[in-house]
Structure 1
Amino acid sequence: MKFNENEKLSIYNGLASTAATNMVNGYIPLFAIGVLGATNQQIGLIVSLPSIIGMLALIPGAIWLNRVQSKKNFAVISTLLTRLLFSLILFVPFLGSPYAAWALVILIALLNFPGALSGLSWQSMIGDLVPEKRRGDFFSSRNRHNTIAAMAVTFGTGLFLQQFDKDNALPYQVLFIAAFLFAVLEIYYLIKHKEPVGSKKERNTEEKNKKLSLNVYKHKPFLAFVITALLFGFSSQMAWSLFSIYQIKEANATALWLSLFSVTNQLAQIISIKWWANAADRRGNSFVLFIAAAGMATAPALTMLSTNLVYLTLINLWIGLFVSGSNLLLFNQLLKASPETDRTNYIANYNFLLSIVGFIAPQMGVLLLNGFGMNAAMNLISLFRMIAAFSFLFVALKFERKMIAQTI
């Protein structure tokens, strides 16, 4: 596929963003537990609190974004603020126990306010810049490039951290500085994007006075997407903090093993992502999403079969095959279900609800862990994920086929 200038810049932007985030994000639980002494409750809050802060950002964010002349400039400013707040984690270890762990929780929560605005504006901007007929090929290519970069950065970071003691804060602080330097590149390539000049004023006139409204749910394709995506999101995010707790506390995974988990997961994504894009073109997003989500449903149950680190590495290889499909197809389906004339409001409404789910689901996962133990909790989450997967199949068989028949 031949890329135009904006698509090339988006790939470069994605590579820099991937380096900036993967250099640190995957090791935040290890940093929190090993260096700061965080509890299970604090790990759960690190996962869930950003969502509620993001939810609070989306209400004014959609209104602000509809009023600005340039979605790109909005994305640049919000991304810069996000990276600046993230770099402050560099100073957290100096606070000492017990304040350092809570400071990390608060900082990660707060940075998600501009982070949510950054994600919203980027999604809306890229939806305008990339025509629907090019999205499948473009996003699969972009995701593949990002995954290769993530794999290299994650493995290199794991090797670097492995040279130091688990409770040593210095290597993490070095990584925070390096991540910020990559973030500067990320913002540079974002600035270089070129928005269609002729559409700015027209879009601004159409959307200026629009606000978040329940009217978006009258659009049946969007309503069907929201219901199924939120079911899947809730069941998926219930296990996020539990995976980290299990790998670090029960399987005793070091930074190197955590990097191997990520690298094998990312390798599987590289291998499979083109297949998912082609399968969606042939069969439709919702049906293929059912396959991807069903594969994701096996992850918690399979993880619980052993604490052997080699086995867990292989399980992450298996999971990665379905992660790539879920990520690619959910985003494509969001853009497809959101009318172009008011896409910002549709995306904002979806992200608003997803933020509520993102706050509640990890806390529910921790409650299941505390109430039933790790094994029962993870198996229950696998069951919930499979139910969510079948919701995609229901939409594919009942809703989408009915709509197609009505248009013939």
Structure 2
Amino acid sequence: MKTELRLGIAGLGTVGANVAQLIERKADVLAERVGRDLRITAISARDRSRNRGFDTHGMQWFDDPVALAREAKIDAFVELIGGSEGIPLQAVEAALKRGIPVVTANKALLAHHGVALAKLATENGTELLFEAAVAGGIPVIKTMREALSGNDVSRVYGILNGTCNYILTRMEKEGIGFDACLRDAQALGYAEADPTFDIGGYDAAHKLAILTSLAFGTEISLESIFIEGISKISIDDITAAQELGYRIKLLAVAVRTDSGIEQRVHPAMIPARSSLAQVDGVTNAVAIDSDLLGSILLAGPGAGGAATASAVLSDVMDVAGGFVPPTLGLPPSRLQPYQRARMRAHEGGYYIRLAVYDRVGAFASIANRMAENSISLESIVQRKADHKGEGTAPVVLVTHETTEAAIRSALEALSRDGYLSGEPQMIRIEDLE
């Protein structure tokens, strides 16, 4: 058997503690599978006194994670602190500069610094692994980087945030409003006290930026992603989607076009019959379209201690076994600069909900403004007034293929005409299988 693999773990929260527990509990099985013992020799966390469910005897404690990465006698460094700047970045850089492989679950770190860190790893003859950074326990990174290496990927999309999926599922199945669902998610630990990162779409965007690089061999470009969260989704939208044969999901999409790469995160109506529409609760799912396999769907737990720890451990096992492909699927020098796609018409059309003042000429104005912007309507329906707005009635439009810019121009003109109350709602319709 080879010499043992000495591990240093920085961050002993839910995931870090689960990783340590797994290594302790499955020590014999893991050693047999990889041909060497895995031993945690150094750890770092904020509170030394807390019982984390594993034996820390014989492990060197570091108050400073950067010092652990720089000084500890370890063969691999596991970063589970979180955050894109400061200590986690410094610790990962310190380990890579020593030529020590790094395993991380830190999506924000990779979305902001992934290419630079990949270059640093290559320069120092070591590796950076991050299976746990995207979609929790779903092995999507290995699938894209290894199993699909002979495929040309045209599109990658999916449900990448369990908090948003939980909220939207509860709203639909139980008729509960957004605010009440969010409070429940916070009480259950699915959402943070400040939920902006999740419900604003930023968490999903970080994950999408990483998947885009793997899918298309480009440098990571987080700033190129169009991001819209779910806080404006109402029960009225959920009900309308059901009546139209759709379900609303927070969708993350990256697609190659003839002019570049398009990346977006936003609520979308997807056909209720589609496989992705069946993904409920905190579950994540990633679909990949490629030339050889067509479309495949990976689904499973997208968060949680056990699921994320499983992904971290798989990377540790790869380090122990000596098989690690390039960080982003290609050597950093071969990654292409990201080229943002030109704006194009959205093939699936849009759902638009308006609160229209009950005045003569309102419907004529809607029709005229849409026509002026070359927007073809599939349907226009005046729904029963709910009396929330005095003298207004909800109107739902479904468009054919058009651009978002055209719709926004039409809605701005309608507002100037004085027929709209409040802010219109607009949701993309995605014609997914």
TM-score, with normalisation over the residues of structure 1? 0.27
TM-score, with normalisation over the residues of structure 2? 0.26
Identify which of structures 1 and 2 has the higher relative contact order when contacts are C-alpha pairs closer than 8 Å and 6+ apart. 1
**Which structure has more helix as a fraction of its residues?**
1
Rg larger in structure: 2
**Which structure has more strand as a fraction of its residues?**
2
